[in-house]
Amino acid sequence: EIVLTQSPGTLSLSPGERVTLSCRASQSINNNFLAWYQHKPGQPPRLLIYGASKRATDIPDRFSGSGSGTDFTLTVSRLEPEDFAVYYCQHYDTLPMTFGPGTKIEIK
Amino acid sequence: ELRESGPGLVKPSDTLSLTCSVSGVSLTYTTYYWGWIRQSPGKGFEWIGSIHYTGSAYYNPSLQRRFRLSVDTSKNQFSLRVTSVNVTDTAVYFCVRQWGLVDEYFQQWGQGTLVTVSS
């Protein structure tokens, strides 16, 4: 089973700031089969990125994903008030698909 | 839209049945798989299994064989059955729409339903 580690656990930031979140895999993820989700309390998780770098439908271009192998990142170029949430990565290279523990972005 | 339904409270050793009602898209769309994911404080998000409208299903090999998925295309619903539940099955259960068998990311999620296992 591929274990995903996300860092940091929590970030305290202000609107307008740029942030880069890390997702590291315990073994190489083939074909860039990695996705990112945003999760806010009381709402379903929202797919942001798939294939490591492809934005999902209706996702603003301030969100971007990159990486390969074992190291992946999600960047938000300029935080908007609605971006404060928990972000999870998920791989779909092998079974079982697994998720990282999440990084919470909170308002400073 | 995906909407989960089922009991909020289940006793240990009982069977849990959850249903996901799908609207706005046909369950029989060839590409899609339909799945269940749960989130618990101790284990985070855990993929349980996914099923195609044809009934072909696959499961998280890390889980015991207590989980079973099924589909009802006439009702545009799919379901999860968990036998012999225990306290570790306490979680929020989400039904999801998965893009495909190869690209197994989750395009759409239901709101989630909290299931508590307690006597």
Tokens, residue A20 = 């880069």
Report CA dihedral (B77, B78, B83, B89) to the nearest 10 degrees: -100
pLDDT tens-place values along chain A, 108 residues long: 999 999 999 999 999 999 999 999 999 999 999 999 999 999 999 999 999 999 999 999 999 999 999 999 999 999 999 999 999 999 999 999 999 999 999 999
B81 with B113: CB under 8 angstroms?
A: no
Q: Do B47 and A96 touch (CB under 8 A)?
A: yes
Distance from CA of B88 to the nearest CA of A (A): 18
Which chain B residue's Cα is nearest to A32? B103
Q: Do A88 and B111 touch (CB under 8 A)?
A: no
Instruction: Establish, for the pair of chains A and B, how many residue pairs have beta carbons separated by less than 8 Å.
Output: 53
Amino acid at B118: S
